[in-house]
Structure 1
Amino acid sequence: MVVQVDPPSPESRAVSSPCDICHDFQPVETNPRASPIDRMFNLYNIDIDSLRDECARCSLLKTIFLRLQSSLLSEYDEFEPINREGTQSNGIWLDPKSDGTALARYTWNMQFKKRDEKGDTYFYREMHIYPAVESEIPKSLTMKKLHNTHWSPKSEESIQFVKDLLQTCEAGQGDHHRCHSEHKPLLPTRVIRINPEDESLSLYEPQSGETGDYVALSHCWGPPSRQPIRTTQDTISQMRASVPESELSCVFKDTIWLSKQLGVQYVWIDSLCIIQDDAGDWEIESAKMADYYSQANLTVAAESSMDGTIPFLQETPDRWQRMIYSAPDQDGHPLTFSFQEHFSNEAFFRGPYNYWKGGFNILPTRAWTLQESVLSRRIVRFALSDVIWECQSTIVHRDSSRALRVADRNIRRAIYALHNLEASDEERRDGASSVWESLVTTYSMRAITYDPDKLPAFSGIAASLAPLFQGRYFAGIWEAHLPHGLGWSTARLQGYQPVRCIEGQYIAPSWSWASLPQAIAVEFMSRLGEELEPDFHPKVLEAFCDRSEKAPFGRVRSGYILLEAPIFEATLTCQSSPNRGVRCKLDFGPEDGEGDLTVDFYEDCLLAEEYGFAKRATPDSRVDYQKDLSTFRAKAWILWLYKRGETQWSGIVLGLDELAEGFERIGYIMAGGVTAETRPKNPVRRQLKLI
C-alpha cells in the first residue's frame, strides 16, 4: 500500500491512550506510568517480544531490531543468539527526550555456534530516532517499509556546508573570532600543486619563506597490499615533473577534487610529501607535522575510508544511512520517523569487536591520526554517517538534528584557552596536566602499525603543549610530573586484547607508558596523589633520554631515571590467568613491620621469571607457568610513589635486570589499609636506576 503522509493533528492524537510498552516515547522523568526500575536507570528496558504491532512506535522499534539483527548475524556468523531458559538474549534500552527524539540501544547476548568455544558475548547497536521533517519525507512511501535516503557526502548540500563554514571561519565571523588569521601560513617543505591552467598535479618545493593556503589530508594507509603511492628517492624527480593521477588512490583523488571545489591550490599528503625511504628526511618532516596540520587552511579527515581504495566521497554504506519509516498509530493516523546509526568513538571504550569489526581499521582508531585531528585549527571529518566541522571555536554537524544530541568535546578550545586565556600559572599547569592525561589515555587505546612510531606519532602533541610544562620531556613523561608521573596504569577495558609480551625492538624505557606496544588504555591516578612522608618519598636525582636533536619529542634510543628511595621486596604469585590479573603478595618481614599485605596489582604486560626475578615477558621468554599457575613465583620490589588519604598508597612494581644493572618496571600497585603497623618502621633509602 502506498500512502500520502500527512502529519496527524494534535486533536486526533489526543484520543489515543499511551502505549504501555514504548510509552509513546515520553521521557521517563515526566511519565507518571514509569516503573521504579525505569526511574532508577532513567531508561525504559523493553523486551522485544512485548512490542505491539498496532503501535507505530513499537512497530518502528521492532523493524529496526529485525534490520539490525539480520546485519549482526551476517557480520558475526560465528555467533548465534542464546536460547537458554532464564537468559534474555536481546532487548532495548530506550532513552526518549523532551524534543521528541530518542536514543534506542539494542543489545544481544550471543554464544558461539561451536560449543567447544566457551563464553557468551555481548553485542550492541545505538540508533538515533527523530520525528521526520517534511523535507526528508518522500511524496509517497510504502507503509511499514524502510525508505533509504541514499545520502552522499559528495552531495551539493554537503560540499556547500563545508564551503560556507570555511568562509565563515577564515573571516572570523560570529563565534569564529579565534580562528581568524591575518597572515597566510608558510608552505610545508613539499606540497602537491594543482596547476590552475590545466589542473595537472606536481610535487612542488616552495622557496624559503613562501606562504600560501593548503589542505592537509588525514587518512589511513591500510595494509601493505593496499597502501597508496608514495614518494621515494627514486621517484622524487618524476613527481616534481608530474604526479601520475592514474596511480593516485581513491582517497587522494577525492582530496584533490575537494581542494579544487574549495579553490585551494596546494595539498599536503604525507606519503607524497615526505621521502618515505629517506630516514633523515622522514625524521625532520615527521617532527614538523604538528606545524603542518596546525597551519593548514583545512584538514580533511577521511574517517570512513579504511584504506586508499575506499573513497570517502561516495554514498554512505547502508548501515549508516538515514532511513525513513511510517506506520499507522492506534487511531489510524500515520506517524513518520527517521532514524540513523552514527559511528561512536565511545564504542572503543566498551569493546569495538562487539560493535563493528571494521571499526578497528578506520581513522579514529589509528595512533598517528590523533595529533592530526587535535592540532588542526580546522578539520572537516568525513565520517561514516555525517560530515562534521571542527575548529577552535565550534563543532558543527551537517546533520543539525544530531548536533543537539552529541556532546561538544572540542579539545582544540581547551588547548587554545591554555595558550591564550588569562590564568594563574597553577591553573594553567593543572589544566595542561588534565588535557595531557586525557590525550595520552585516548592515544594509548589506538593502534599503530609500526611500534617504534609510538613516540613520533605523539610528538606533535608533545611539542604543542611543551610551553605549558616546566623542564624536559622524557619519552612521554614531563620532568614537572616526576616522580608521580611514573604512576600510570593499564586499564582493563571490555573488548581490548589482554596484555601481551614486549617485542624485542626497543621503543622506550620501561617506566614510560610508550614502552607498551599494544593498544591498551593508560590511566593516570598520580595527579590526585599526595606526597608520602619524607622517609618514603622518592627523590629524582637524574633523568636522561638519548634522542635526536632534530626530533626532541620523537624516538629515543635509551633512557634511565636515577632515584633515591626505599624499595621493598615482594613476591609475585599467579592465582588466576595472567591476562586477568596477578595477585601480588607484599611481605615486609617481621623486622620491618607486622603482617602481610595483599594488594591490587596491574601488570604492564605478560610476565616471566628469570633466575628467580620477575621480568617483562618477551617472545623468547619461558611462560610455561600459564599451564599451571601455581608454579609461578618470582621476586620483585615495590617503589611507593604517592598516597591518597592516609591509608591508600600507590606505586610501581619493579623487576631486577642484572645485565643492565637496573630495575625495569613491570606493573602498577595500589594498597589499601596501609597503617603504621603494616608499613616499615625504618625504611632504608638507597639509589636505584630505572631503565
Structure 2
Amino acid sequence: MSVGQQLPSEPRQSIFRPRLWLQNCLWKHHTELCGTAADGMPRSLPKRLICIGNNQDQTRLIDDFGGKTVPYLALSYCWGPSGHITTKLNNYKNHLRSIPWQALPATYRDAIDFVRAIGYRYIWIDALCIIQDDLDDWNSEAARMGDIYGEAILVISAANANHVGFGFLNERSGSRTFKNKLQKGPGDPTHILVQEPTIHGNILGDPSLEQQWPVFRRAWTLQERLLATRLVHFAAGEIIWECATTCACECGHLEAVDAVTSRKRYDLSSLDGLKVVERANRWDELVLSYQSRHITKDKDRLSALSGLAARFQCEHLGRYVAGLWSNFILSMLLWEAKKGRRASEYVAPSWSWASCQGRLIRNDAIEHNSKFQAVLEEAYSEPSTADPYGAIIPQSGFIRLSSPTMEGVVVRSTLNGHPMIQLTPGLQAFLVSDVHLTDSQIGGTVKCMFLRGLEAGPSGRYVEALILNVSKNLVDYERLGVAHIRNHSFDEDQSLRKQLPLVLETIKVI
C-alpha cells in the first residue's frame, strides 16, 4: 500500500490532467525528443480524419482539408468481435455528411468526447478513416500507419477496454482508497487516505506485467504505442501519460521513480545512437514481444509491424526480408516457437517468425552473419504492395544458404518422449519443432543444416542447426524447427565437424 491522494471515481473528472500534461509537453519539452512544434501541427495528414464538430450530431468524416494542416489525435484500442460500425464503400459518402452518434460503439464515443473536452476538433480512428472493403485504400493507409500515429498530437490508448463496445470513461474499478486514523497522544486524530496502487509494470517495462492491459495484448497496438510522440493511457484505476521526456500518472508513482529510464527499451528516439548489433537486438526484442500478441488476421502479421520496420531500417542492418534483416539473418533464423501453429494462409516463408503464430523465445543474442559457419548466399521476398516492409507476395520469399549438412532421423527420446534428431548411432540433437509433430513425422528423414558451433570444444557454445523437410516441389526445403547439441554430448577431444559425415551444400529454403 502507498499513501496518496484520492482519485476521482469518474475518469471524466480527471480530463484536466492530460490536457495539462499535453500543454506542458508541447511548450516545455525539447522538440528533438517529443517531436512536434508548440502548436502541435503535423508534417503530414492522414487521407481522412473525423471532424467532431461542436456537438454529437456534427460528427463526420472529412477528406478535404482545403490545403491546410490541422492537429489531430489518434485512437489505439482493441477492436474485439466484429459487427461495429466501419466505413465501407457503400456508406463512405454518407459518413462524409454525418456519422450517426448512436451507431458508434462506446470507445469511439468516449474518444470523441475526450477530444472535444481538451479543445481539439479532429481524430483518426482506423475503422472509420480507412475504407475497410477497399483493398487499395487499406494497403495505402496501412503503409502510412507509422506516420499517422507518429504525427498525431496525442494518441489515446483505451488501455483497459478489451473490445470497442467497452469504452474507457466508465466508472473506475481497480485501485481502492481507504481512510485510516492515526492517533498520536492526546488530541484529535489525524486521518490519512491510503490508496491501493495501480500496477505500472506496463509503463516501466516489466515483461511479466506487460500484457496486463487488454490493449497490450493486440498486435497492432505495439507499433501504435512505440511510434506515438505522446500517449495517454486510460487504465482501470487512473490515467497515465507517456512521452519521450516524461511519464506521469494521477497517483504520482511514476514521478517518484525514474520511469523514463525504466522504459528505455521501448524508446525509438535512441536508435540512431546504438551500434548496429544493438539495433538488431532491439528489433529482435520487439519481435518477441509482438509475437506474444493476438492478431485477428494472419495476413496482417507483417503489415502490423511495418511502421516499426521502417523506423529501424538502416544500411548496416541490410535488406528487410519477411521480418528479418539480411546482415543478421543467420542469427535471426534461430527463433524457437512455444506451442506454435502455422498461419492459416501464406504470410511468410517457413524460416520467418511471421509464418508461425505463438510465443517465441531465443537462447542467444543476435550476432552478425560473419560470426556463423554457414554463409548466406541470397535472401529475397517481394512486397505485395507499395509498402516495402509490409505483406509479401505468396511464395515469393526464400533464402539460399551454404552450410555443412547431413541427414538425420526424427525419433523420440527414450527418457521423456521428446522429439530428437538421430545423427549417428551414438549422437542425438534436441529438436525444437515449430509446431507439434504428428506421429507420422516420427521416423522421417530430415536435412540438418548446421549454422554455428561445429568448431566448439567442450567449453564452447552448443551446436545449432536448422532442421528442414523437403518441400512439396521436391526440390527446395522448408523449415521444421531448430536443433541443439550440447557440448557434453560429443567427444571432448575433437570438434563435432570431425565426428559427423558432413557435406557442404547450398540449399534453397522457402
Normalising by structure 2, report the TM-score: 0.86
1:218 aligns with 2:65: no
Q: 2:46 — aligned with what?
A: 188
After TM superposition, the structure 1 = structure 2 runs for residues 116-265 of structure 1, keeping only pairs within 5 Å, are 129-130=1-2, 132-133=3-4, 136=6, 151-155=9-13, 158-171=14-27, 173=28, 178-182=33-37, 184-195=42-53, 200-207=58-65, 210-224=68-82, 227-265=83-121
Residue among 628, 644, 655 paired with 2:469: 655
Matched, 1:480 2:320: no
Contact 1:299 1:379 in 2 (8 A): yes
1:323 aligned residue (166, 170, 177): 177
1:599 aligned onto 2:438: no
Q: Report whether the alignment pairs 1:555 with 2:391.
A: yes
Tell me which of 303, 306, 311 is aligned to 2:167.
Answer: 311
- Give 1:585 deviation, angstroms: 3.2
1:637 Cα shift? 2.3
**CA RMSD for the aligned pairs?**
3.2
Q: Percent identity over the alignment?
A: 27
Shift of 1:670: 2.2
Q: Is the 8 A contact 1:187 1:206 kept in 2?
A: no
> Secondary structure of the equivalent of 1:606?
coil
Distance 1:180 1:361, change over 3 A: closer
In the alignment, which residue of structure 2 is the partner of 1:292?
148
Deviations 1:137-177 (A, max 9, x none): xxxxxxxxxxxx6623221xx21210111111112x15676
- Over 3 Å counting, the alpha-carbon distance change for 1:163 and 1:444 in structure 2 is same
Matched, 1:432 2:279: yes
Change (3 A) 1:276 1:598: same
C-alpha separation in 1, matches of 2:65 and 2:75: 22
The answer to which of 280-289 and 663-672 deviates more is: 663-672
Pair 1:255–1:530, CA change in 2 (3 A): closer
Contact 1:390 1:410 in 2 (8 A): no
Q: 2:235: which partner in 1?
A: 383
**TM-superposed deviation, 1:455:** 0.9
- Asked whether 1:572 is paired with 2:410, we answer yes
189, 197, 203: which is aligned to 1:340? 197
In the alignment, structure 1 residue 639 sits paired with structure 2 residue 449: yes
CA distance in 2, matches of 1:198, 1:386: 26
Q: 2:348 aligns with which of 480, 502, 508?
A: 508
Deviation of 1:680 after TM superposition, in Å, equals: 3.7
Q: Give how far 1:605 is off.
A: 1.0
Instruction: Judge which range, 543-552 or 290-299, deviates more.
Output: 543-552
Distance 1:198 1:504 in 2: 41
Measure the CA separation in 2 of the matches of 1:449 and 1:581: 34
Q: CA deviation at 1:239?
A: 0.5
Superimposed CA distance per residue, residues 517-569 of structure 1 (whole angstroms, 9 cap, x where no aligned partner): 23x13436252588568xxx222222221322412211122211111212122
Matched, 1:666 2:476: no
Q: Distance in 1 between matches of 2:42 and 2:476?
A: 51
Tell me, in whole angstroms, the C-alpha distance in 2 between the residues paired with 1:604 and 1:348.
Answer: 27
Q: Deviations over 1:402-456 (max 9, x none)?
A: 543685443587321223xxx5xxx431231122111111101101111111111
Residues paired across the two proteins, number:
491
2-side partners of 1:289 and 1:528: how far apart? Answer: 30
- Select the residue among 270, 282, 300 that pairs with 2:138: 282
Residue 679, structure 1, aligned to residue 497, structure 2: yes
Identify which of 207, 212, 221 aligns with 1:369: 221
Higher alpha-carbon Rg: 1
CA distance in 2, matches of 1:454, 1:329: 60
**Aligned match of 1:415 in 254, 258, 268?**
268
Question: Offset at 1:338?
Answer: 2.8
**Shift of residue 344 of structure 1?**
4.7
Aligned equivalents of 1:468 and 1:196: distance in 2? 48
Map 1:618-633 → 2, pairs under 5 A: 632-633=442-443
**Residue 483 (structure 1) shift:** 2.1
Distance 1:405 1:323, change over 3 A: farther
Q: Which has the higher contact order (CA 8 A, sep 6+)?
A: 2
CA shift, 1:467, in A, is: 3.0
Q: Please tell me whether the aligned partners of residues 287 and 460 of structure 1 are also in contact (alpha carbons under 8 angstroms).
A: yes
Q: Partner residue of 2:307? A: 460
Corresponding residue for residue 421 of structure 2 = 585
* In structure 1, C-alpha distance between the alignment counterparts of 2:190 and 2:360, rounded to whole Å: 48
Q: 1:389 to 1:451 in 2, by over 3 A?
A: same
**Whole-angstrom CA distance in 2 between matches of 1:343 and 1:660:** 52
For residues 536-551 of structure 1, what are the structure 2 equivalents within 5 Å? 537-551=373-387
What does the per-residue CA deviation read over 1:590-640, in whole Å, with 9 as the maximum and x for residues that have no partner?
Answer: xxxxxx333333221112366xxx4xxxxxxxxxxxxxxxxx322222222
Unaligned runs of 5+ in 2: none
Q: Distance in 1 between matches of 2:428 and 2:498?
A: 15
SS in 2 for 1:679: helix
The answer to whether the 8 Å contact 1:440/1:522 transfers is no
Would the aligned equivalents of 1:151 and 1:322 in 2 still touch at CA under 8 Å? no
AA in 2 matched with 1:552: P
Structure 1 unaligned segments of length 5 or more: list them.
Answer: 1-128, 137-148, 353-358, 493-497, 590-595, 615-631
